[in-house]
Chain A
Amino acid sequence: METNEYLEVFIDESKEHIQSLNDHLLELEKNPSDLTMVNEIFRSAHTLKGMSATMGYQDLADLTHKMENVLDAVRNQQLVVTTAILDVVFEAVDQLEEMVMDIASGGEGRKDVVHLVEQLNAIERGEALPEENSNTAAPVSESDHQPQSTLVSTLDEFEMTVLRESNDQGYQNLELHITLREDCLLKAARVFMVFEILEQSGEVIKSAPTVQDLEEEKFEQSFTVLLVTKDKAEEIEKKVMKVSEIESVKVQNFSIEQRSSQSGNSEDTNKLSEEKGATAVAEAPVKQEKDTAKKAPVSNKTIRVNIDRLDALMNLFEELVIDRGRLEQIADSLKHTELQETVERMTRISGDLQNIILNMRMVPIDQVFNRFPRMVRQLAKDLGKQINLEIEGAETELDRTVIDEIGDPLVHLIRNALDHGVELPEVREQKGKPREGSLKLNAYHSGNHVFIEISDDGAGINREKVINKAVSNGVVTNDQAENLTEKQVYQLIMESGFSTADKISDVSGRGVGLDVVKNTIESLGGNITIDSTFEKGSIFSIQLPLTLSIISVMLVEIKEEKYAVPLSSIIETAVIKKSNIMSAHNKKVIDFRGKVVPLIDLQDVFEVPGEKHDDEYCSVIIIRKGDKMAGLIVDTFIGQQEVVLKSLGNYLTDVFAISGATILGDGQVALIIDSNSLIV
């Protein structure tokens, strides 16, 4: 079989495992005594090792193996988790990630990790040796080839009780060691068949590896099962051998006494549990049924689909939306009732389809958030600060196109918050704050938008400092600065060429930065606002559209040309008497619901050829950017429509006030107006 076709799966899964390693290591760091975390970490590392060895990435497998050894020692309580150990393990995970990235970009995944391996070895040797012999419980999945009772050490008291009771009631406890043939292709299927046979003759109490791992083929060639049955050992052996692709079955009697010889302290717990034994037996089968019922559907509910296919589906659907628009037009002009009804139905159905497809492309923002805990940990270390990162709403879903773009701006904002926001522990103490600074990341849905907030309890923004800087950089004049509201002052720090940090640091503050963040977010059709209290902290909040590919627009006509204005930026449309247009500073303004709103004549801005209309009334679209408003003068409103956003291509970049184009029902191209750039 070609390994190539598995490469993608391998890379995806490796990334997932590395992510889970990172997550769990961070948990472990907070809670060093939590051995379930160690188990999780160990499991991920072990799977990663197995996968990379299978794919022939030896360096990757070796490093994981060493890491696994250290983790095993921790798991068996031969090692105490310390920051020093975790640092090395983190470093190892970083290296693993680099290797996987290398493989993903077509490399061999090779890397010189001698130093790291030595460090891992040192940790393992230095502190683990004295206790080496005390525990025989090797990692379950590595103990394949010894048919000894490796299971006993992992039995919990409940299972022990069941075994005891069954002995008393004339059942016998068998331990089956089953080995599959090396060339077995459908390991999970064979396991399933074996289990089905076993469950006909008795009750499976325990298996190593666990049932779930077996189902997911996370084992080599053999596995061990504990069975309570009335049947004879030979009969069961024969039955199991009937399943094809089974190499061997070894059946032996299993007695609990063996356990006491291996670990002394279990006796007490056994005595305790014997009292509840009778009820426990009755419950046992029920519990198992529940377990299997829980597991089965999970594995079937999701499938992996290549993103390219989803994109292809989206593109096809976009074509359909264009044709739908065309059909609507034709039906309207023909005034054929049946045709109109059919088109209406089709519109509804394709609307539903659109929702489903858009939903399919939604990914939880966790994909972006999940790399932040590591980043924050590292940054905090580099900066000598103590940070507690809280993440909320990681399950909030966003279109993949947005997710791809939002990562970098967020990284920037977090770096900014850590570098300039949160103070050093000593400074914080002086200010009467806890030494540990807090950084919160919060994402949530609201209407057609997603909000992401980054808040810290650091120094906040110093208004005076910002104004001084802005004036000295020529961003605003002294007079302007006097009249700025708090929010306007904070917006200043996102102007280009602005950096308030007194000294330039490695982490952020090279003068480019926040303006790039602002531009990126605005190019995504979103906006960013800052709220801050001096000495209390700041909140950066980002508003983003749910999707970028299909948007609702208002189509308007200026002379012969059609333009589309995104509905998201429109407050309302109005028809205004010419005589109501006033003039202020040589600019046309109107009084709109008590506010003075400047008017922009799109025919002038876009240099549309043709004579100006001289009607008594003119049509105006009131648009909004943040808390600023403007009115766009157009000739006629055509109507509201859903359109597919297309780019103008790589040749025409940065066209003023145009964010893209769309194809209308009649096949013509209409330009989409970027209302953000019209409001200054």
Chain B
Amino acid sequence: MPQDNKQDIKAIIFQLNDEEFAISVQQVSGIERMQHITRVPQTASFVKGVINLRGVVTPIIDLRKRFGLDAADFTDSTRMIIVYMDEMEVGLIVDAAYDVIDIPEEAVEPAPEVVGAVDVDYIEGVAKLEDRLLILLNLNNVLTDEEVRALKTVEG
């Protein structure tokens, strides 16, 4: 039934510290292997730097830092997911990215009020899929949080 399919969310699944996250494929423009990252001084701590993405200078965010997780060394499976939002192209460093799946809309539940101690405005919802638990990300809040806003007002 095409109507039902339309309500499915096609999402890219990536791994971060044993948890699985999902971003809608419509916001993803590519997945890249790690390459040299040029550090940009005096930016938010989770901004890893910029890379040369086929001639375009693209900022890279370390999602581990952004989510307050412990830093980990880059491995062979470490990837940069290039996301596109509001005319911005940004890369997210994740432990691994491996899957594209359809998430039926009815499987998505709103984010629980309290998930641990972290303030989690960047979580859009949680999807239960058989034995997997996927965290749906709200990219907008991943990229622009209070910290970034504060940073901008100080410098602007």
Interface set of B (CB-CB < 8 Å, partner A):
36, 38-43, 47, 49-52, 55-59, 86-90, 143, 152, 155-156
Complex interface bits, A184-224 against B, C-beta within 8 A gives 1, otherwise 0: 00000000000000000000000000000000000000000
Complex interface bits, A529-572 against B, C-beta within 8 A gives 1, otherwise 0: 00000000000000000000000000000000100000000000
By a CB distance below 8 angstroms, the chain A residues around B40 are 648, 652, 655, 658, 671
Per DSSP, chain A at the interface is loop
Q: List 16 A-B contacts (CB under 8 A).
A: A607-B41, A648-B50, A649-B56, A649-B59, A649-B89, A652-B50, A654-B152, A654-B155, A657-B41, A658-B41, A661-B50, A663-B52, A663-B55, A667-B52, A671-B38, A671-B41
User: Given A608-B41, A668-B38, does the pair A654, B59 have CB atoms closer than 8 Å?
Assistant: no
A606 interfacial contact with B, CB 8 Å = yes
Are the C-beta atoms of B41 and A648 separated by less than 8 Å?
A: no
Which residues 405-420 of A have a CB within 8 angstroms of B? Answer: none
A592 interfacial contact with B, CB 8 Å = no
Complex CA gap A27/B124 in Å reads: 64
Complex CA gap A652/B38 in Å reads: 13
Are the C-beta atoms of A649 and B36 separated by less than 8 Å?
A: no
Complex CA gap A658/B38 in Å reads: 13
Are the C-beta atoms of B41 and A669 separated by less than 8 Å?
A: no
Q: How far apart are A320's CB and chain B's nearest CB, in angstroms?
A: 11
Q: How far apart are A633's CB and chain B's nearest CB, in angstroms?
A: 15
> Which of B36, B52, B88, B143 has the most CB atoms of chain A within a 10 A radius of its CB?
B52
Complex interface bits, A652-680 against B, C-beta within 8 A gives 1, otherwise 0: 11111110010100011111000000000
Measured CB to CB, the nearest residue on chain B to A661 is B57
By a CB distance below 8 angstroms, the chain B residues around A303 are none
User: Given A649-B59, A652-B43, A658-B41, does the pair A669, B88 have CB atoms closer than 8 Å?
Assistant: no
Are the C-beta atoms of B143 and A651 separated by less than 8 Å?
A: yes
Complex CA gap A552/B109 in Å reads: 55
Are the C-beta atoms of B57 and A647 separated by less than 8 Å?
A: yes
User: Given A646-B57, A655-B42, A661-B57, does the pair A668, B156 have CB atoms closer than 8 Å?
Assistant: no
By a CB distance below 8 angstroms, the chain A residues around B42 are 606-607, 655-657
By a CB distance below 8 angstroms, the chain A residues around B55 are 318-319, 322, 663
Are the C-beta atoms of B59 and A670 separated by less than 8 Å?
A: no
Are the C-beta atoms of A561 and B88 separated by less than 8 Å?
A: no
User: Given A661-B50, A663-B57, A668-B36, does the pair A606, B41 have CB atoms closer than 8 Å?
Assistant: yes
By a CB distance below 8 angstroms, the chain B residues around A661 are 38, 50, 57
Complex CA gap A608/B38 in Å reads: 11
Q: How far apart are A551's CB and chain B's nearest CB, in angstroms?
A: 15
Residue from B50, B51, B88 in contact with A650 in the complex, judged by beta carbons closer than 8 Å: B88
A312 interfacial contact with B, CB 8 Å = no
Complex CA gap A606/B156 in Å reads: 18
A282 interfacial contact with B, CB 8 Å = no
A605 interfacial contact with B, CB 8 Å = yes
Are the C-beta atoms of A649 and B38 separated by less than 8 Å?
A: no
By a CB distance below 8 angstroms, the chain A residues around B88 are 649-651
Complex CA gap A607/B36 in Å reads: 19
Are the C-beta atoms of A654 and B156 separated by less than 8 Å?
A: yes
* Given A648-B40, A656-B42, A669-B38, 14 further pairs, Cβ under 8 A: A561-B38, A607-B41, A649-B56, A649-B90, A650-B87, A652-B40, A652-B50, A654-B155, A655-B43, A658-B40, A663-B52, A663-B55, A667-B52, A669-B36
By a CB distance below 8 angstroms, the chain A residues around B143 are 651
Complex CA gap A55/B47 in Å reads: 52
Q: How far apart are B134's CB and chain A's nearest CB, in angstroms?
A: 25
Q: How far apart are B65's CB and chain A's nearest CB, in angstroms?
A: 15
Complex CA gap A279/B93 in Å reads: 88
By a CB distance below 8 angstroms, the chain A residues around B49 are 669
Complex CA gap A600/B55 in Å reads: 32
Complex CA gap A362/B96 in Å reads: 48
Complex CA gap A437/B106 in Å reads: 74
Q: How far apart are B20's CB and chain A's nearest CB, in angstroms?
A: 25
Complex CA gap A655/B47 in Å reads: 12
Q: How far apart are B90's CB and chain A's nearest CB, in angstroms?
A: 5
Q: How far apart are A672's CB and chain B's nearest CB, in angstroms?
A: 11
The 3 tightest CB contacts between A and B, nearest first, are A606-B41, A669-B38, A654-B155
Q: How far apart are A564's CB and chain B's nearest CB, in angstroms?
A: 11
Q: How far apart are A561's CB and chain B's nearest CB, in angstroms?
A: 7
Q: How far apart are B97's CB and chain A's nearest CB, in angstroms?
A: 20
Q: How far apart are A181's CB and chain B's nearest CB, in angstroms?
A: 51
Which residues 312-367 of A have a CB within 8 angstroms of B? Answer: 318-319, 322
Are the C-beta atoms of B52 and A668 separated by less than 8 Å?
A: yes
Q: How far apart are B101's CB and chain A's nearest CB, in angstroms?
A: 28
Q: How far apart are B145's CB and chain A's nearest CB, in angstroms?
A: 13
Complex CA gap A318/B54 in Å reads: 12
By a CB distance below 8 angstroms, the chain B residues around A668 are 36, 38, 52
Q: How far apart are B89's CB and chain A's nearest CB, in angstroms?
A: 6
Are the C-beta atoms of A648 and B59 separated by less than 8 Å?
A: yes
By a CB distance below 8 angstroms, the chain B residues around A561 are 38-39
Are the C-beta atoms of B41 and A656 separated by less than 8 Å?
A: yes
Q: How far apart are A95's CB and chain B's nearest CB, in angstroms?
A: 34
Residue from B47, B87, B155 in contact with A656 in the complex, judged by beta carbons closer than 8 Å: B155
Are the C-beta atoms of A651 and B59 separated by less than 8 Å?
A: yes
Q: How far apart are B81's CB and chain A's nearest CB, in angstroms?
A: 15
Measured CB to CB, the nearest residue on chain B to A663 is B52
Which residues 634-652 of A have a CB within 8 angstroms of B? Answer: 646-652
Measured CB to CB, the nearest residue on chain B to A644 is B55
Are the C-beta atoms of B41 and A649 separated by less than 8 Å?
A: no
> Which of B50, B87, B155, B156 has the most CB atoms of chain A within a 10 A radius of its CB?
B50
By a CB distance below 8 angstroms, the chain A residues around B56 are 646, 649
Complex CA gap A648/B43 in Å reads: 12
Are the C-beta atoms of B52 and A649 separated by less than 8 Å?
A: no
Are the C-beta atoms of A652 and B41 separated by less than 8 Å?
A: no
Measured CB to CB, the nearest residue on chain B to A652 is B59
By a CB distance below 8 angstroms, the chain B residues around A658 are 40-41
By a CB distance below 8 angstroms, the chain B residues around A646 are 56-57
Are the C-beta atoms of A669 and B51 separated by less than 8 Å?
A: yes
Complex CA gap A657/B38 in Å reads: 16
Q: How far apart are A478's CB and chain B's nearest CB, in angstroms?
A: 28
By a CB distance below 8 angstroms, the chain B residues around A648 are 40, 50, 57, 59
Measured CB to CB, the nearest residue on chain B to A653 is B152
Are the C-beta atoms of B52 and A669 separated by less than 8 Å?
A: yes
Residue from A319, A608, A653, A669 in contact with B57 in the complex, judged by beta carbons closer than 8 Å: A669
Q: How far apart are B29's CB and chain A's nearest CB, in angstroms?
A: 13
By a CB distance below 8 angstroms, the chain B residues around A318 are 55
Measured CB to CB, the nearest residue on chain B to A605 is B41
Measured CB to CB, the nearest residue on chain A to B36 is A668
Are the C-beta atoms of B39 and A651 separated by less than 8 Å?
A: no
